[in-house]
Amino acid sequence: MEASEQFMDELQRLNALKRYNILETLPDHSFDDATALVSYICEVPIAYISFVDETRQLFRSEIGLNPDIPRAITFSRYTIMDSKLVEIPDTLLNERFRNDPDVTGGLKIRFYAGVPLRTPDGYNIGVLCAADHIPRNLNDSQRLALLIVARHVINTLELSTKNSELASQKKIAERAVAAKDSFLANMSHEIRTPLNAIIGFTELLAGTRLDKRQRGFVKDVQTAGDNLLLIVNDILDLSKIESGGLELELHPFDLKKALRHVYDLLKVKVQQAVEFNLYLDAELPAMVSGDQVRLNQILMNLAGNALKFTSEGEVTIAVKKIEETNDSYDIRFSVKDTGIGISADNLDTIFERFTQAEQDTTRKFGGTGLGLSIVKQLVRLHSSDIRVKSTEGRGSEFFFTITFQKTFQPRQNREQQLVNDIGRLSILVCEDNHLNQKLAQNVIEGFGFEIDIAENGDRGIELLSQHHYDLILMDLQMPLRDGYQTTTYIRQELQSSIPIIAMTAHSLVGEQDRCYDAGMDGYVPKPFKQYELLEAIKSVLKKGPRSAKHQKADLSRIEETDQLKPGWKKEVISQFLEKAPHELEEFKNAVKRGDFQTVLQRSEQLQIWMHLFVLDGLSRHLSNIEREAHQKKFTTETADSMDILCCSMEEVLKNLQQQQNTEI
Supply the DSSP string of 245-280, one letter for each residue: ------EEEEHHHHHHHHHHHHGGG--TTEEEEEEE
Q: How many residues does the chain have?
A: 664
325 and 385 together in one domain: yes
- Residue 76 covered by a domain: yes
pLDDT of residue 274: 92
The SS3 assignment for 633 reads: coil
- Residue 551 covered by a domain: no
- Residue 52 covered by a domain: yes
Q: Which amino acid belongs to residue 547?
A: S
The SS3 assignment for 113 reads: strand
pLDDT at 449 over 50: yes
Residue 563, number of CB atoms within 10 A of its CB? 9
What is the spatial distance between Cα 483 and Cα 520, in angstroms, rounded to a whole number?
A: 10
12 and 160 together in one domain: yes
Q: Each residue of 151-196: pLDDT tens digit? A: 888 888 888 777 777 767 777 766 666 666 666 666 666 777 778 7
518 and 624 together in one domain: no
Q: Which of 166, 193, 208 is the last residue of a domain?
A: 166
The SS3 assignment for 360 reads: coil
561 and 471 together in one domain: no
Whether the predicted model's global pTM rises above the 0.75 cut? no
Q: Is the peptide bond before 499 cis (omega within 30 degrees of 0)?
A: no
503 and 560 together in one domain: no
527 and 572 together in one domain: no
What is the spatial distance between Cα 404 and Cα 406, in angstroms, rounded to a whole number?
A: 6
pLDDT at 509 over 70: no
- What sign for the dihedral angle of Cα 5, 10, 15, 17? positive
Instruction: Bin 480: left if φ > 0, else alpha if -120 < ψ < 50, else beta.
Output: left
The SS3 assignment for 237 reads: helix
- Residue 223 covered by a domain: no
What is the spatial distance between Cα 55 and Cα 73, in angstroms, rounded to a whole number?
A: 12
Strand pairing class (313-324; 124-132): unpaired
- Residue 200 covered by a domain: no
- Residue 215 covered by a domain: no
Inter-residue contact 270 to 276 (CB < 8 Å): yes
What is the spatial distance between Cα 436 and Cα 618, in angstroms, rounded to a whole number?
A: 34
Minimum mean pLDDT among 19-23, 180-184, 291-295: which range? 180-184
- Residue 429 covered by a domain: yes
Instruction: Say which CATH number the domain at 38 has.
Output: 3.30.450.40
424 and 523 together in one domain: yes
Instruction: Say which CATH number the domain at 420 has.
Output: 3.40.50.2300
- Residue 212 covered by a domain: no
6 and 149 together in one domain: yes
Q: Each residue of 550-607: pLDDT tens digit? A: 567 778 778 877 776 777 788 888 888 888 888 888 888 888 888 888 888 888 888 8
- Name the percent of the chain lying above pLDDT 90: 19
- Residue 357's pLDDT band, with cuts at 50, 70 and 90, is very low
CA distances from 417 to 133, 248, 271 (A): 99, 25, 36
Q: Give me the phi and psi of 497, to 5 degrees please.
A: -110, 20
Q: Each residue of 107-148: pLDDT tens digit? A: 889 999 999 998 888 888 889 999 999 999 999 888 988 888
325 and 426 together in one domain: no
pLDDT at 521 over 90: no
Q: Which of 148, 166, 184 is the last residue of a domain?
A: 166
pLDDT at 415 over 50: no
450 and 385 together in one domain: no
What is the spatial distance between Cα 41 and Cα 302, in angstroms, rounded to a whole number?
A: 71
The highest-confidence range among 279-283, 433-437, 590-594, by mean pLDDT, is 279-283
**Residue-number span of the structural domain to which 42 is assigned:** 2-166
pLDDT of residue 236: 65
Inter-residue contact 624 to 641 (CB < 8 Å): yes
Q: Which of 166, 198, 225 is the last residue of a domain?
A: 166
Please provide the distance, in angstroms rounded to a whole number, between the alpha carbons at the two ends of the chain. 87
Inter-residue contact 57 to 119 (CB < 8 Å): no
Inter-residue contact 173 to 135 (CB < 8 Å): no
150 and 20 together in one domain: yes
330 and 425 together in one domain: no
Instruction: Say which CATH number the domain at 590 has.
Output: 1.20.120
Which residue(s) pair with 321 in the sheet?
A: 331
Residues 6+ apart with CB under 8 A from 543: 499, 521
pLDDT of residue 454: 94
The count of structural domains within the chain is 4
Instruction: Say which CATH number the domain at 390 has.
Output: 3.30.565.10
Residues 6+ apart with CB under 8 A from 2: 83
